Chain A
């Protein structure tokens, strides 16, 4: 079983924890007395880890961890935080001590008596965002505890593994449009059709159905000419009509053209980097997802949801 402690806990800044302790219920009697019933012994935790100020390399490490373990359990050692250092450059955070630090975490107590083989988790959600303002990544992942421990008797029951293979495209039509219509922000998500079972609130078995897809929401602020070329492309390719090559938004290198006139934007680099014609995924617009408004300054603000399509 993979141990993702290093890749997931480095450079996080916030935990949000919801804990269900000793699942159970209560039966009231006519006397008003209650009989409380406990039905499982291992507390369940849903943990949301937030990140901000990540560069592409940091984000890529987390994304790889997610893509390669999207539908299987993995080990995460929350006692391992003591080795963390500052999570972003000093020019980003106000205070250099602005990070999560703990000598010994008490969030997950399972490894203390059941060894690290019991500190087993599964991914529930993955959402990141990059905007042109900083060209840095922020986002969060949500994990749930699993009771499918990394002990032989448990692992003998079922084999879990998962992976992600990009649906490769060579179509450059959308990249051509994006040359002039560059987004100022991109949301980076996934759609997963794996099936889960659970005991109490903890994940039990997960079966990878091979359907992990990348999903993007692009945000634009465009002059009319560029907007109309984007709208034209959408009208030609929306719905079931067209699949196209979607660049890997959020990469560290790519198209370096300003997306609006220099008299409007503060800097010419005010856009989100994309991979250009490299690393194209076969994708299409999510149905009726293109929304736009015309503003009083004559610019068009718009967004669209795009989903990878498996060939």
Chain B
């Protein structure tokens, strides 16, 4: 459990949002862009980056017996097909994925002479967004890892992100081979190793 500092409200009423970052690479391996989303209902501005509000949910973090979170499933709104189009045009497997939790004290707003302790946000007349840089907050990383697998439907894009530690004990690369390829791999192995010794 992360320690929540006195930066956030002391009356046990916390405002929480999450920031998501996914690095996208072109299929030739060059860096393309970082996608930034938030599960807040309006845009979030943090460190001069805009996080786009989208319907995102993620599983409860679970830990394996080694006391480290292994992987986490996340579901992102794909109703406009933007994500699946992006996923097909570029590579995001094995690339950086980050979930950050922000606990903050919302700014107040005055609406029709009444002040509401939890307001809407900033730039409300032109570009409604929540600017995190100027408000009191705690930010910590909930999960940092890589996208392992994903699948997309018309409604949602589901992805599993995995900690990078899992790479250390990975027996095979994350890519899977079809049967035809596998035969050639076995042939390649047998070409070198014969009955437990080097094939000479």
Q: Which residues of A contact B (CB under 8 A)?
A: 22, 33-42, 106, 109-110, 112-115, 118, 147, 149, 151-154, 157-158, 195-200, 202, 204-207
Main secondary structure of the interface of A (DSSP, over half): mixed
Known: A199-B53, A205-B79. A39 touches B118 (CB 8 A): no
CB pair A195–B79 under 8 Å, yes or no, is: yes
CB pair B118–A114 under 8 Å, yes or no, is: no
Known: A158-B82, A204-B77. A34 touches B12 (CB 8 A): yes
Q: Which residues of B contact A (CB under 8 A)?
A: 12-17, 39-43, 50, 52-55, 77, 79-82, 106, 109-112, 118-121, 124-130, 154-156
| Closest B residue to A35 using CB positions | B12
Known: A39-B16, A113-B111. A151 touches B41 (CB 8 A): no
Contacts of A199 in B (CB 8 A): 39, 41, 53-55
Contacts of B39 in A (CB 8 A): 39, 199
Interface-central residue, B40, B81, B119, by most chain A CB under 10 Å:
B40
CB-contact partner of B40 in A41, A112, A118, A196, under 8 A: A41
Known: A22-B118, A109-B112, A114-B128. A33 touches B12 (CB 8 A): yes
Shortest CB-to-CB span from A86 to chain B, Å, is 28
Contacts of B52 in A (CB 8 A): 157
Shortest CB-to-CB span from A142 to chain B, Å, is 20
* Additional A-B contact list (17), CB under 8 Å, known A38-B16, A42-B42: A37-B13, A37-B16, A39-B39, A41-B42, A41-B119, A106-B112, A113-B110, A113-B111, A113-B125, A114-B120, A114-B124, A149-B128, A157-B52, A157-B80, A157-B82, A197-B79, A198-B55
In the assembled complex, the Cα of A109 lies from the Cα of B124 at a distance in Å of 13
CB pair B16–A113 under 8 Å, yes or no, is: no
Known: A109-B111, A195-B154, A205-B79. A38 touches B13 (CB 8 A): yes
Shortest CB-to-CB span from B18 to chain A, Å, is 9
CB pair B41–A202 under 8 Å, yes or no, is: yes
Shortest CB-to-CB span from A159 to chain B, Å, is 8
Contacts of A109 in B (CB 8 A): 111-112
Contacts of A41 in B (CB 8 A): 15, 40-42, 106, 118-121, 130
10 pairs of A and B residues whose beta carbons are closest in the complex: A40-B41, A197-B77, A205-B79, A158-B80, A197-B79, A114-B124, A197-B55, A38-B15, A147-B41, A199-B41
Shortest CB-to-CB span from A201 to chain B, Å, is 10
Shortest CB-to-CB span from B5 to chain A, Å, is 15
CB pair A37–B41 under 8 Å, yes or no, is: no
Shortest CB-to-CB span from A151 to chain B, Å, is 6
CB pair B43–A153 under 8 Å, yes or no, is: yes
Known: A39-B17, A41-B121, A195-B154. A207 touches B128 (CB 8 A): no
Shortest CB-to-CB span from B151 to chain A, Å, is 17
CB pair B125–A35 under 8 Å, yes or no, is: no
Known: A22-B118, A204-B54. A37 touches B40 (CB 8 A): no
Shortest CB-to-CB span from B85 to chain A, Å, is 12
In the assembled complex, the Cα of A195 lies from the Cα of B119 at a distance in Å of 30
Shortest CB-to-CB span from B60 to chain A, Å, is 12
Contacts of B111 in A (CB 8 A): 109, 112-113
| Closest A residue to B120 using CB positions | A41
Contacts of A206 in B (CB 8 A): 79
| Closest B residue to A206 using CB positions | B79
CB-contact partner of B13 in A36, A115, A151, A195, under 8 A: A36
Shortest CB-to-CB span from B152 to chain A, Å, is 13
In the assembled complex, the Cα of A195 lies from the Cα of B81 at a distance in Å of 12
